[in-house]
Structure 1
Amino acid sequence: MRVTRPDAVPELRERLPAWLDAGHHGSMDWMRERADQRADPATLWSGVRSIIVLGMNYGPEVDPRVVLGQRDRGAIAAYAQRRDYHEVVKGKLKELGGYLSAKGDVRVKVFVDTAPVMEKPLAAAAGLGWQGKHTVLISREAGNWLLLGAIYTSADLVPDAPEADHCGSCRRCLDICPTDAFPAPYRLDARRCIAYLTIEHAGPIAPEFRSAIGNRIFGCDDCLAVCPWNKFAVRAGEGRMAAQADLAAPPLAEFARLDDAAFRTRFAGTPIKRTGRDRFLRNVFIAIGNSGDAALAGLAEDGLSDSAALVRGMAVWALGRLVPPARLRTLFNARGLGETDAAVRAEWHLALGVTPGTTGQPSS
């Protein structure tokens, strides 16, 4: 942990609005709604005098990119293979906050992604690390696998010195991105980021990104995994944050038929549950379509009857990549002609190569 002042990052007042005005936040409207409080901690709480930032390393035991070559299995971001970090990190912050409060007339407010707090710039100002070219915090001791939380306190604490940028000429994190989500070093366009698309984005994922997603069904670790500073990382010894072995490389077939109750049971206590069943199955069917495994086509056919249009649409896309045109045409005649959702009908047009507004005759 490190300490900083609430006024340590005055440039946020310009940087954050510029990022928002560029539309790089995508559909995350909550980033704009309280932007003034994000840019200025004192606007969030006028009583803050110091900010304590905590970072906990969750580095994986093996390179998470290994599973990307196993196309019939799903790749889940390393942080999501564990218990939801919000409750674990918040518990530690509350313990520290209670210690501070017991020392005298000290007030504290604890935050872990539950308020408009810019944890990464504050952590960099506190010397916990620096924001790399991929915008993620990097620590010389803990690499860039860091979970962050913050304590705003009325205590007047001695601040730590900020950490210098040690990225140098390295640009591995930028070059490895499958969707070119970095328009420039130190700038992320969330609209092109696989982590955003598979977790935060609520609707259908644009066709231009689907192939690049591969078998990533929840998040993406590529820019994190390639960072050379990870070789110095010392992993946290928090038993409650141990990775679940059954989420390291789960078979796609395990998830394709999950109903809402089964989804909630399967992912109880993990970050995956918060995203919801429909978005998750959307991602699963994109991965099935990218698998090249015709044996998984039956799962996609079942997906055509799903109650969620979002899932049905991605099942159509998957089938368009796994079955012969004649089989796709038969399925369209059996199920697609009666489809009532406009977005799903558009997916049928895309898969069949037909002109929108027709009844499904091949276009010239």
Structure 2
Amino acid sequence: MSLSESDLAQLAQRIKRWGVELGFAEIRITDIDLSHAEPGLQAWLDAGMHGEMDYMASHGMLRARPAELVPGTVRVISARMNYLPRDTPPDWRAREAQRLRDPGAAVISVYARGRDYHKVLRARLQQLADRVKAEIGDFGYRVFTDSAPLMELPLAEKAGLGWRGKHTLLLSRTAGSMFFMGEFLVDLALPVDAPTSGHCGQCSACITTCPTQAILGPGRLDARRCISYLTIELKNAIPPALRPLIGNRVYGCDDCQTACPWNKFAERAVLPDFDQRHGLGDASMIALFGWSAEEFNRKMEGSPIRRIGHERWLRNLAVGLGNAAAAGARGDAAIVAALQARLDDPSPLVREHVAWALACHAGDAAI
């Protein structure tokens, strides 16, 4: 089916309207030229800042070339979906900061407290594709949500969804950064949207607040030091020198986002999928550390947390329980008992981190 420029312009407006009806906060469109982003990607990979995330390097510059990923692609429809739970109170950032100071609290990144965003966004993007197909007939497309070798942030920035903050995340003047992104690659020459300008100014709150100083400078992130990487992507032992800096963050880290002034405008989700499940926003580390593998798999069904598996879940919690010693709970009987119960865990990885945690409570800084 051949569409005129007028038809394509009208279709673009319908796509944006349909996207909002499907739960997306905003839909924008860009072309596929990411040549400007290739040098930065290559330099980051060459410096080894991707750590053990081999998938970041395995596809080379394919990430910056959507038409090589999906032949025939001429436009990318970039979508964002808010994920703050619907009942999030106005002072949510202060509450998150308070939990970081509670030595027994298990701090889990806000995005991971509800359903797995991969499934939610991919399903909604597919529904959007189905609407387009019903409107114009067959066309070439693929939908992605953090599931393909694609530079989604530069695409979203070029489409005008926001600008790259100094922490490298996308920022919106009207919605902060608490949102997911997805892409809809199409062979339709839809009219493109204009990018927006950056508005970080002289602010460096995200850089100075990072617990591990993983943000080396504006737009420069060493993933190997990032707590989200250490607790989610890293498959082996967490480097001992970084363990004390993790505190009680047991899955991901939101510090650079909660410190960002733009997140006073963060919008709540419209879908119930991102509402908190299993009390993950209020849980204690001891309670979560007591979960068996069966309990973990059952309760984390449909959650992004399940992807790391029970072993790494226990690894992360052991580090958090060890750090409780420096946060005012050294020698706490309940914490020590919980750790001792895992001393003979079948996993060498878990045993190593449990031993380290117990050494923290014993005051042995050498271990």
- Asked if structure 1 preserves the Cα contact closer than 8 Å seen for 2:84 and 2:274, the reply is no
- Asked if structure 1 preserves the Cα contact closer than 8 Å seen for 2:289 and 2:314, the reply is yes
> Aligned residue for 1:241?
274
What is the rounded CA distance, in whole Å, between the counterparts of 1:185 and 1:13 in structure 2? 18
What is the rounded CA distance, in whole Å, between the counterparts of 2:173 and 2:163 in structure 1? 9
> Aligned residue for 1:314?
353
Deviation at 1:350, TM superposition (A): 4.7
What is the rounded CA distance, in whole Å, between the counterparts of 2:277 and 2:265 in structure 1? 24
Partner SS, residue 315 of structure 2: helix
Greater Cα offset, 260-269 or 207-216 = 260-269
Partner SS, residue 246 of structure 1: coil
- Asked if structure 2 preserves the Cα contact closer than 8 Å seen for 1:111 and 1:151, the reply is yes
Deviation at 1:241, TM superposition (A): 1.7
Deviation at 1:104, TM superposition (A): 3.0
Deviation at 1:245, TM superposition (A): 6.2
Letter aligned with residue 301 of structure 1: Q
Percent identity over the alignment is 41
What is the rounded CA distance, in whole Å, between the counterparts of 1:168 and 1:47 in structure 2? 39
> Aligned residue for 1:276?
309
> Aligned residue for 2:29?
3
> Aligned residue for 2:127?
95
Pick the aligned partner of 1:25 from 38, 50, 58.
50
What is the rounded CA distance, in whole Å, between the counterparts of 1:29 and 1:236 in structure 2? 32
Partner SS, residue 284 of structure 1: helix
In the alignment, structure 1 segments of 5+ residues that lack a partner are: 326-348, 352-364
- Cα shift readout 1:72-127 (whole Å, capped 9, x = no counterpart): 11000000011111111111101111112221342210001211111111000000
Deviation at 1:249, TM superposition (A): 2.4
Pick the aligned partner of 1:122 from 155, 163, 184.
155
Residue-pair matches, total: 327
Letter aligned with residue 122 of structure 2: K
Deviation at 1:49, TM superposition (A): 1.0
Q: Say if 2:288 is the partner of 1:263.
A: no
Partner SS, residue 197 of structure 1: helix
> Aligned residue for 2:229?
196
What is the rounded CA distance, in whole Å, between the counterparts of 1:324 and 1:180 in structure 2? 25
Structure 2 vs 1, CA of residues 324 and 77 (structure 1 numbering), >3 Å: closer, same or farther?
closer
Greater Cα offset, 98-107 or 46-55 = 98-107
> Aligned residue for 2:24?
none
Q: What TM-score results when the alignment is normalised by the length of structure 2?
A: 0.86
What is the rounded CA distance, in whole Å, between the counterparts of 2:38 and 2:271 in structure 1? 36
What is the rounded CA distance, in whole Å, between the counterparts of 1:222 and 1:211 in structure 2? 16
Letter aligned with residue 223 of structure 1: C
What is the rounded CA distance, in whole Å, between the counterparts of 2:62 and 2:239 in structure 1? 32
In the alignment, structure 2 segments of 5+ residues that lack a partner are: 1-26
What is the rounded CA distance, in whole Å, between the counterparts of 2:363 and 2:183 in structure 1? 54
- Asked if structure 2 preserves the Cα contact closer than 8 Å seen for 1:67 and 1:73, the reply is yes
Deviation at 1:300, TM superposition (A): 1.1
Letter aligned with residue 112 of structure 1: T
> Aligned residue for 1:333?
none
Pick the aligned partner of 2:204 from 139, 149, 171.
171
- Cα shift readout 1:9-36 (whole Å, capped 9, x = no counterpart): 2112211111000011000000000122
Letter aligned with residue 172 of structure 1: A
Deviation at 1:266, TM superposition (A): 2.0
- Cα shift readout 1:252-302 (whole Å, capped 9, x = no counterpart): 111223332121012111111011111111010111111123221111112
What is the rounded CA distance, in whole Å, between the counterparts of 1:287 and 1:10 in structure 2? 42
- Asked if structure 1 preserves the Cα contact closer than 8 Å seen for 2:207 and 2:216, the reply is no
What is the rounded CA distance, in whole Å, between the counterparts of 2:196 and 2:279 in structure 1? 37
Letter aligned with residue 323 of structure 1: A
Letter aligned with residue 2 of structure 1: R
Q: Say if 2:83 is the partner of 1:58.
A: yes
Deviation at 1:324, TM superposition (A): 6.3
- Asked if structure 2 preserves the Cα contact closer than 8 Å seen for 1:256 and 1:303, the reply is no
Partner SS, residue 2 of structure 1: strand
- Asked if structure 2 preserves the Cα contact closer than 8 Å seen for 1:101 and 1:108, the reply is no
Partner SS, residue 300 of structure 1: helix
Q: Say if 2:123 is the partner of 1:75.
A: no
- Asked if structure 2 preserves the Cα contact closer than 8 Å seen for 1:282 and 1:310, the reply is yes
What is the rounded CA distance, in whole Å, between the counterparts of 1:280 and 1:67 in structure 2? 19
Q: Say if 2:328 is the partner of 1:302.
A: no
Q: What TM-score results when the alignment is normalised by the length of structure 1?
A: 0.87
Deviation at 1:59, TM superposition (A): 2.7
Deviation at 1:163, TM superposition (A): 1.3
